[in-house]
Amino acid sequence: MERGARKNVERETWNVERKDRFPTFASYAFKVLILLVLFASGLAAQEHAALARKIQQIVSRPEFKHAQFGIEFYDLTGGKTIFALNQDKLFVPGSTTKLVTEGTALALLGPDYRFHTRVYRTGPVTAGGVLEGDLVLVAGGDPNLSARVQPGDTLAYTDYDHAYAGSLPGTVVPGDPLTVLKDLAKQVAAHGIWRIQGSVRIDASLFRADKTEPGTGATISPVVVNDSIVDVTVTPSAKEGGPTAVTASPFLPYLQVINQVTTGKPDSDALLQFTNDIANPDGTHTVTLSGTVPAGWETSLAAYKVKSPVRFAESAFVVALQTFGIQASAPAGGGAEDFQLPTASATPDHVVAEHVSPPFRAELKVTLKVSQNLHAATMPYFLGAALAHHSDDALAAGFSLEREFLKKAGLDLSAASQADGIGGPGAAFSPNFMVHYLAYMVKQPFGPVFFSALPIMGRDGTLVGTLVNSPAAGHVHAKTGTYVLYDGLNHDLLVLGKELVGYVDTRRGHRLAFALFVNQAQANNMEQVEAIGDLLAEMAGVAYESE
């Protein structure tokens, strides 16, 4: 019972005890109040029962015979759990792990933190505009050196991120992917530099990383141009069997694409795959794109994940400089990727260009709304490097900072496991851990920023097409997660994890934190995997009616 209602009961009880003095009105008011309380309690119990029935209907379905569910709904307004199932067990969390990764970054960096990318000269500039040395871009960990940067300190995103294009739908953010690099190049020209006698170099020593994130295969690095992606667009013929045309963006010497894509049936799916990736001696790559695209479609998109973000950034910056008439070239033969700006040149008077990112609150929204794997995978490294000042073991240092933050939040770390920023192998959380993490986050000064960065069911991000016509659409703010492997034995899919974790603002004004996990489910195709996600969303929809 809420505090105000309790005061009323205490006051009316006192009046009943003095009924000889107040025999009529007080007695009547007390009875009415008791009836209202009992009615509300009964109604809430019925609605909680409806939630339990809906969950039982779902978990009892034949396709979940071998699956495990972990569920908890926690009423933040009332301070109580309204439903729980296996809430203390560990579950594969998939991309809901990004809630913890990015929430930690938000807490430690602050919503107004900005990344800095600077360009230095290593030598003097002659009167004729010749830089007698190298031009060095020092990577600052900014994941948005791309067309995402928009006026007004914002970042653009598409609900279907281009990182997944090829095997899944994906679209690019409109604009020039070299926008930021061209702005840096314009600043270089403004310093009177028209020819670089040395080379264009990338200093990516902020942290050392030689891994790819397991979700899309993108390479982790402190330099990230266009999400370390070349967007390859395929245009089919009008008829089946006809030739296709391929264009790459950004179009750079770094990548040559051999087109072996054919035009398929009009009602077929687009299936695109990069094969036979050859690393050339000069650091460039030659790759074959194969597969089919349906006849009559305007275009299909495939995302090539660059193998060397440093070489890719060098190539892109050279092209950006040449756009402004600056004579520049990358190191002959590729050069060493572990190049570092000489200490003598790392001074303010050697800076010839700088890009300052929009505030971190904008990056948080990009990563959580579209589930951007590379951004989240990079974050623990960045925290370890930028805050703990570890470049060689940044990942471990980043997780130490996260552990310290979660402990201070009073969370039970025995109910959590994490090995990367995105929820790959080694990640596990209990529903109870997640709801208490969400409860903590929403109470912090940055809580509204965290809340607003989540996908909204039926409205945007990874939930844009989920239960669009449900009464709960627009009232569920939650992170999705999917972890699927191919089952070679049965030629099917094994859903290691499908998840939905976040908040629902109920029709009666209560806010619930919830964590919904299903592990070890079986599916025939990705449509069935998405259908499992819809069932979890239905649970959240019923909870919308429950309090």
* Domain with 399 in it: 62-108+362-544
- pLDDT at position 6 is 32
Give the domain-ending residue among 313, 342, 358. Answer: 358
Residues 89 and 149 in one domain: no
Q: Which two tokens stand for residue 49?
A: 């029962």
- pLDDT at position 8 is 32
Residues 366 and 296 in one domain: no
CB 33 within 8 A of CB 8: yes
Residues 102 and 164 in one domain: no
Residues 6+ apart with CB under 8 A from 230: 248, 249, 250, 252, 254, 255, 303, 304, 306
301-340 in b/e form (b: 16+ CB < 10 A) is: bbbbbbbbbbbbbbbbbbbbbeebebebebbeebbebebe
- pLDDT at position 251 is 96
- pLDDT at position 100 is 98
H-type helices in 110-248, by residue range?
179-190
Domain count, the chain: 3
pTM, two decimals, is 0.90
Q: Which two tokens stand for residue 515?
A: 């964590």
Helices 97-109, 360-370: inter-axial angle, 10-degree rounding: 180
Residues 152 and 94 in one domain: no
Residues 374 and 499 in one domain: yes
**Sorting pLDDT into bands at 50, 70 and 90, what band is 338?**
confident
Residues 416 and 483 in one domain: yes
Decide if pLDDT at 493 tops 50.
yes
Mean pLDDT, range 170-191, rounded to an integer: 97
Residues 266 and 297 in one domain: yes
Around Cβ 167, how many Cβ atoms within 10 Å? Answer: 14
4-34 in b/e form (b: 16+ CB < 10 A) is: eeeebeeebeebeeeeeeeeeebeebbeeee
- pLDDT at position 11 is 26
- Dihedral Cα 170, 424, 405, 74, nearest 10 deg: 80
Give the domain-ending residue among 324, 358, 392. Answer: 358
Around Cβ 106, how many Cβ atoms within 10 Å? Answer: 23
Residues 9 and 87 in one domain: no
Percentage of residues of the chain with pLDDT beyond 70:
91
Higher pLDDT, 123 or 268: 123
